[in-house]
Structure 1
Amino acid sequence: MSSTPFSALACPLDGKPMQRQGRTWRCDAGHSFDVARQGYTHLLPVQHKRSRDPGDSKAMVAARQRFLNAGHYAPVADAVARAALSARPGNGQLRCLDAGCGEGYYLRRLAEAASKRETALSLLGLDISKWAVLCAARQEHAVSRDRETDGSNWVVASNAKLPVQDGALDCVLCLFGFAVYPEFVRVLEPGGVLIQADVGPDHLRELREIIYPSLKPEREPSRTTPNGLARRDVETIRFPLTLSEPQAIADLLMMTPHFHRASAEGRERAAALDSLTVTIDVRLTPFVRLADNGARDG
């Protein structure tokens, strides 16, 4: 597999293309952004923040890192990698963005799958949490010290304003994250693929039954297809997962929104568990980016 640093970054202030000059990204208007020594670039201007430290906390990122690196969601990652690699244009390089990359697990698994197929890659991981991006950059550097991982592949930024040039991508991943469809359409070239992962109605049901007094009826998923995209067939990834250590159960809870939604009593009930079997229920939906004058189907 050959892998090249992602080069189609756009200035988060004015949207102009940026060029790499040493350890700095610059646009023609003179805006510049330094590559941190840890191997990522901060492209989230203070005026675009809604809080002082947006996104997942350091503790949440650490919990997700432990949980995912243990392989508990490997079937989900494998399905994502298969879908992403199918978006490769002919025999060309796959240019893929993980919009909400967290600590980089799914991009690392994609890179592993691509290496087995000798598929060329240009990857960009983006998250609004600086702790997540820092963790992703450090893990990649630790795994592949001889690979060029000098900040081109990891950025702190927001899905609401992607620092990516128009039509620069073959694939966008939005995995359990904040989907901003107009931005995804803008950065995908026609024929490019958005792969969206959402939880199904039974996802973590057994854990939710423990931490909540009762479960609310599940909402029907929206079948509305966003403008500029064509929906393809949904793939369901469903399997039982047994966690036999209290730390793994705690990590699972902390990496989900349920950690903050549950009461203190609910979290205590989860903390008292020695083992737990939960249902993993994930829906993977591909969308194809239409040509500007294309007709929607699916």
Structure 2
Amino acid sequence: MSITPFQALACPLDGEPLHVAGNTWRCAAGHSFDIAKQGYVNLLPVQQKRSHDPGDSKAMVAARQRFLDAGHYQPIAEAVSNAVLSHAEVQAVGNPPFSCLDAGCGEGYYLRQLVDAATDTQPLSLMGLDISKWAVLSAAKQDAKQAPLSSWVVGSNAHLPVQRGTLDSVLCMFGFPVLSEFARVLKTGGVLLQVEAGSNHLRELREVIYPTLKAERSTETEVPEGFTHHSSERVSYSLALNGSEEIADLLAMTPHLYRASAEGRARAAALDVLNVTVDVRVAQWRRL
């Protein structure tokens, strides 16, 4: 299996290419960024932060890791891996490794699943980026158990520290898409893969924590500027959660943790069993 960390990073201060020397990334202007002992680099300058500790907290990251490692979203991971690897297979013969960024990677679950699904004939160059230092720290620690397979970066989707036109694929998993940035870093013909919640996603949990549910939004999605529609796939199945811990982990890894009232969270905490619907749309857009 030929899988290597993505190297075409850019300085978050001036956009110039970064080059690694020892344990430090540097640009021509002399800006330098040390690689932490856990194997990640922080490319989120203070002027790009909206808070002292942006993104998911340490507790939220731990909850997501427990939930995902239990295999609850395995069908989503399989759909994403199959999509990425189908594009990589087309490009494989005589070309450089297929480069893929997980923009909002969390603790790295989907990239690890991609690595496990890859074959020896599909060389990959991978990068995981998240604004949460706790998420990236967790991802890097798990990756370090073997030879590092991805570059792990603390950074923002609003200012991706990636050189222009260097990526074959960008993943945005339930994240915050910044389409202009995704278009900038993708090669012509590159693919943006977005996973978004469908109208029934976690409906049963939402019925518990909210007094009423909002009207269903339209399922029609506009084609992002600079892209053309490639394909769409729906992944939908029923998931049985047993035990208050699993239910709490699911709530903790979603935005509903903050949107729900204290009463709604208390109703969820009182549950021992919950059957929920997983309903997501996997959309692929090709960069023009």
TM-score (norm 2): 0.96
C-alpha displacement of 1:222: 4.8
Looking at structure 1, the residues matched to 148 and 225 of structure 2 have their Cα atoms a distance apart, in angstroms, of 37
* 1:228-267 matched pairs, under 5 angstroms: 228-267=226-265
C-alpha displacement of 1:259: 0.8
**1:249-287: CA deviations, max 9, x gaps?**
000001001111111111111111111100000000000
Letter of the aligned partner of 1:69 in structure 2?
A: D
* 1:30-179 matched pairs, under 5 angstroms: 30-88=30-88, 89-91=91-93, 92=95, 93-114=97-118, 116=119, 118-142=121-145, 144=146, 147-148=147-148, 153-179=151-177
Q: Is the 1:188–1:289 contact (alpha carbons within 8 Å) kept by the matching residues of 2?
A: yes
C-alpha displacement of 1:218: 1.5
Q: In the alignment, which residue of structure 2 is the partner of 1:205?
A: 203
Query: CA, structure 1 residues 18+258, in 2 after alignment: closer, same or farther (shift >3 Å)?
Result: same
**Is the counterpart of residue 21 in structure 1 residue 21 in structure 2?**
yes
Letter of the aligned partner of 2:102 in structure 1?
A: D
Letter of the aligned partner of 2:141 in structure 1?
A: R
What is the CA RMSD across the aligned residues, in angstroms? Answer: 1.1
SS in 2 for 1:66: helix
**1:139-174: CA deviations, max 9, x gaps?**
1112x2xx145xx61000000000001111100000
Looking at structure 2, the residues matched to 262 and 172 of structure 1 have their Cα atoms a distance apart, in angstroms, of 31
Q: In the alignment, which residue of structure 2 is the partner of 1:296?
A: none
Please identify runs of 4+ aligned residues in structure 1 that moved more than 4 A.
none
Looking at structure 1, the residues matched to 120 and 262 of structure 2 have their Cα atoms a distance apart, in angstroms, of 47
C-alpha displacement of 1:117: 5.1
The answer for unaligned runs of 5 or more in structure 2 is: none
Percent identity of paired positions between Structure 1 and Structure 2: 62
Letter of the aligned partner of 2:13 in structure 1?
A: L
SS in 1 for 2:192: strand
TM-score (norm 1): 0.93
Letter of the aligned partner of 1:245 in structure 2?
A: G
Letter of the aligned partner of 2:129 in structure 1?
A: L
The answer for unaligned runs of 5 or more in structure 1 is: 291-298
Looking at structure 2, the residues matched to 210 and 28 of structure 1 have their Cα atoms a distance apart, in angstroms, of 55
Q: Is the 2:92–2:122 contact (alpha carbons within 8 Å) kept by the matching residues of 1?
A: no
Would you say how many aligned residue pairs link Structure 1 and Structure 2? 284
Q: In the alignment, which residue of structure 2 is the partner of 1:225?
A: 223
C-alpha displacement of 1:47: 0.6
